[in-house]
Amino acid sequence: MSETLFREGMPLLGDPFPEMEVQTTHGMLKLPQDMAGKWFVLFSHPGDFTPVCTTEFFAFTKNADKFKEIGCELIGHSVDQVFSHIKWVEWINENLKVQVPFPVIADGSGTVAARLGMIHPGKGSNTVRAVFIVDPNGTLRLMIYYPQEIGRSVDEVLRAVKALQVCDKNKVSTPENWPNNAFLGDNVILPPPKDERSAMERKKQMGPACYDWWFCHKKL
């Protein structure tokens, strides 16, 4: 696949998630329509029956209930055929003693991977380890790309969904590694003033919750 096609397929944050109908291990799925009103995480893996991908599927499976608790669905993806997915999921269920609860997209033609920019031009036809977080309105909110040789942190994906939900609900930002930031703890960051008058007013009112007029925080 050409580098041009790879780059043309790259979606942008804030774009609507591309509409598509896909074959999965749970049947046909229309995205993002079938996930309307829910958050969802679509994550790709380079290939079935590979060690790093197997560890990731195990981790996503073990944490699936935590995603459910915050109203977020999981969807796997690779360019393997559906029969390969079914057999691999069966292997994981039987050998790792877990039950993979989420659907896995079978993208044998590579169409989904191309539309989402998941094919690395220097890595053949395998997909990179991409993560797409989509909100209940079908808007693409966060993307993470890993090379094939680096396994993801599922805890980080879960943390990112929670952080996005908190930001949307409270109109704030979250610091590094929220809710376990080194000096703000689980506090959130207030939006900066939008004009000089607001900046000066905040400066007069500053207390221990402000390091400066542009850097104020609070507990939820």
| Spatial separation of the C-alpha atoms in residues 180 and 63, rounded to whole Å | 19
* Catalytic site includes residue 72: no
How many Cβ atoms sit within 10 Å of the Cβ of residue 89?
A: 20
Name the catalytic one among 53, 72, 167, 210.
53
> Distance between CA 32 and CA 134 in Å, rounded?
9
Cα–Cα distance for residue pair 156/173, rounded to 1 Å: 17
Give CA separation, 91 vs 13, 76, 94, 127, in Å. Answer: 35, 16, 5, 21
The residues near 68 (Cβ < 8 Å, ≥ 6 apart) are none
Structure tokens at 55: 């560890």
Question: Catalytic positions, please?
Answer: 53
